[in-house]
């Protein structure tokens, strides 16, 4: 089931970021706006758009979050591989995102000081 969701999330992510999806959203809003006068700007007319946009937004939050998490994991793995491949690299950086906040902040401050010292 996880693989199917991942495939679905990836497909939705690609579609949602495509020009076709943006165009479709504009068309839906345009049709809704043009229907307003015909429906006398009724509460039903307003409720339809509010409901549809809320549902789409709610679902897309989860789909996009899943896709972003996968991308982040891939980037972190690639960076860890590059760090481990370099002999002169500080291996404390490997897996930094999994360390507790105090330790990660200390390493960050150490690097920040080193960078400022070079400037």
Contacts of residue 91, Cβ cutoff 8 Å, sequence gap at least 6: 83, 84
| Per-residue confidence (pLDDT) for residue 31, from 0 to 100 | 93
- Per domain, the residue ranges of the chain are 2-64
Q: What is the rounded distance in angstroms from the CA atom of residue 95 to the CA atom of residue 91? A: 9
What residue spans of the chain are helical by DSSP H?
2-16, 19-38, 43-85, 101-118
Q: What does the block give as tokens for 103? A: 């330790």
pLDDT computed for residue 44 by the predictor: 92
Measure the CA angle with vertex 65, ends 104 and 81; round to 5°: 45
pLDDT digits (tens, 9 = 90+) for 10-46: 888 889 889 999 999 999 999 999 999 998 999 999 9
Whole-model pTM over 0.75: no
The residue whose two tokens read 């789409």 is 56
Residue 88: per-residue pLDDT: 86
pLDDT at 68 over 80: yes
- Quote the mean pLDDT of the chain: 89
Q: Is the pLDDT of residue 6 over 80?
A: yes
Q: How confident is the model at residue 87 (pLDDT cuts 50, 70, 90)?
A: confident
Contact between residue 17 and residue 81 where contact means Cβ atoms under 8 Å apart: no
What local confidence, expressed as pLDDT, does residue 10 receive?
85
pLDDT tens profile 54-65: 999 999 898 888
| CA distances in angstroms from 25 to 20, 31, 49, 117, listed in the order given | 9, 10, 12, 50
């Amino acid at each position: 089931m996880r693989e199917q969701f991942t495939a679905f999330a990836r497909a939705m992510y690609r579609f949602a970021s495509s020009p076709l999806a943006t165009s479709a959203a504009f068309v839906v809003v345009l049709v809704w706006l043009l229907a307003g006068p015909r429906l006398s700007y009724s509460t039903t007319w307003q409720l339809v758009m509010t409901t549809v946009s809320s549902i789409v937004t709610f679902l897309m939050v989860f789909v996009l979050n899943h896709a972003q998490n996968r991308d982040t994991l891939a980037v972190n793995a690639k960076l860890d591989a590059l760090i481990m491949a370099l002999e002169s690299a500080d291996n404390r950086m490997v897996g930094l995102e999994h360390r507790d906040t105090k330790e990660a902040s200390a390493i960050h401050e150490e690097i920040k000081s080193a960078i400022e010292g070079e400037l």
